[in-house]
A and B are shown apart, each in its own frame.
Chain A
């Protein structure tokens, strides 16, 4: 079990630039989630994929944000025209296909974004 991996671990960018983060879930997990965590707060849900389908997006995900999971494996989260308010830790989690019960979400180490 290699766990959920995220790259890069840290990203510093200037305001107005575009950034892209990658998440590789645990290999047999078909569900993938993105969360955002700002300093001193708990993670907040951004979006969810089941296989390659994006099934829910939070209203936190403005039109500058886009997420994809093209082959139902890894996922990317892109932020266009970054703003200082986008500075946060971006967390990815995955979980296995469930049978209607509670699936434990396994989190990656996160990508810390700093927008200057």
Chain B
């Protein structure tokens, strides 16, 4: 079945450091890929997505590129802020032409210290 593997946290960085959170996936066909973020006390929010190979999703300074050859969708940000402290989930959804059943990774907790 479909699965998502992401690096375990927590990840602790100083403000303005470079962030990479690794994510790889297993799926048949051409799934869509997502990063969701969960801030403390809040619900899941879509951060960015990519729907086909070589697409780059970006939002709020975060980027991730859909790499089919390595089945990866690593999340990057050049300079993190304290406000980026949250749990980040990599996820995929198979293309079905209909609804999407999203499969999530376990989440990576990011803590940014001043």
Contact = CB atoms under 8 A, between A and B. Distances in A.
A18 interface: no
Contacts of B103: 45
Interface string B79-114: 000000000010101010111111111110000000
Nearest to A102: B32
Contacts, number: 64
Interface in B20-43: 32, 36, 42-43
**For chain A, which range describes its interface: under 10, 10 to 19, 20 to 34, or 35 or more residues?**
20 to 34
| Most chain A beta-carbon neighbours within 10 Å: one of B89, B100, B107 | B100
Contacts of B49: 102, 104
A45 B101 contact: yes
A107 B44 contact: yes
Please tell me the size bucket of the interface on B.
Answer: 20 to 34
Interface of A: 4, 31, 33, 35, 40-45, 48, 50, 55-56, 91, 93, 95, 98, 100-110
B46 interface: yes
Given A91-B43, A109-B42, A103 B100 contact: yes
A31 B99 contact: yes
A101 B51 contact: yes
A41 B68 CA distance: 25
A110 B107 contact: no
Given A45-B102, A109-B42, 15 more contacts: A4-B43, A35-B102, A40-B106, A40-B107, A41-B106, A41-B107, A42-B89, A56-B101, A91-B43, A102-B51, A102-B100, A105-B100, A107-B44, A107-B45, A109-B43
